[in-house]
Structure 1
Amino acid sequence: MREYKMAQSEEKFAELVWENEPVGSGELVRLCEKQLGWKKSTTYTVLKKLCEKGILQNQNAIVTSVLKKKEFYGKQSRQFVESVFGGSLPH
C-alpha cells in the first residue's frame, strides 16, 4: 500500500498548487516566494519530492496534481483507519 503522507511544508505547497492549478513553474516560484518566503531552489526541491510521491506532476513546465485534494485526503484517511483500527472503525 502506498503511503499518503506529506510534511507540513509539503502540504502548504500542495495547497498552493491545488488552488492555482494548472500553474506554470515560474509562476509557482513567485507564489512560493510571496506566500511561503521560499527561494526558487526550495520550491523545485519540494516539487520534485511531491512528484516522486505521485501527488503532483510537472510536464512542460506546467504543474498539476495527480491526486486532487479530496482524493489525497480521502486516501490519507483510509490509510489512518487501516493502520490504527485494522480497517474498521470501532462502534
Structure 2
Amino acid sequence: LGHAHNALALHQAERWRAELIADDKDAVTRWVADFPDTDVQQLRTLIRNARKDAALEPEKRSGRAYRELFQFIKRTMESQDDDASLTGDAGDAT
C-alpha cells in the first residue's frame, strides 16, 4: 500500500506541474486553494522559469527549472499530508 500511495503522489505532483505550466491563473488559484500555506511568489517564479526553459530549443533546455518546480510541488504536498496525519484529517483530503 505504501508503494501505491507513493506512486499516486508522484502522479498527482506530475499532473499539478503540467497544469501549472500550461495554465496561467486558474491552476495557480486552484493550487493555492488546495495548499493555502504555499509561498505563492516562489511558486510563480518556479512556474515562470519552467515556462522559459520549455520555450527554448530542445538542445538548449536544461530541465532544471522543470525539476525544481516538481520538487516544490512534491514537498508542499508531502507537508500537507504530514500536517493532515498529525491532525487526523489524512483520509478527508480529496
The structure richer in strand per residue is 1
The structure richer in helix per residue is 2
Is the pair's TM-score, using the shorter chain for normalization, greater than 0.5? no
Please report the TM-score for the alignment, with normalisation by the length of structure 2.
0.30
Please report the TM-score for the alignment, with normalisation by the length of structure 1.
0.31
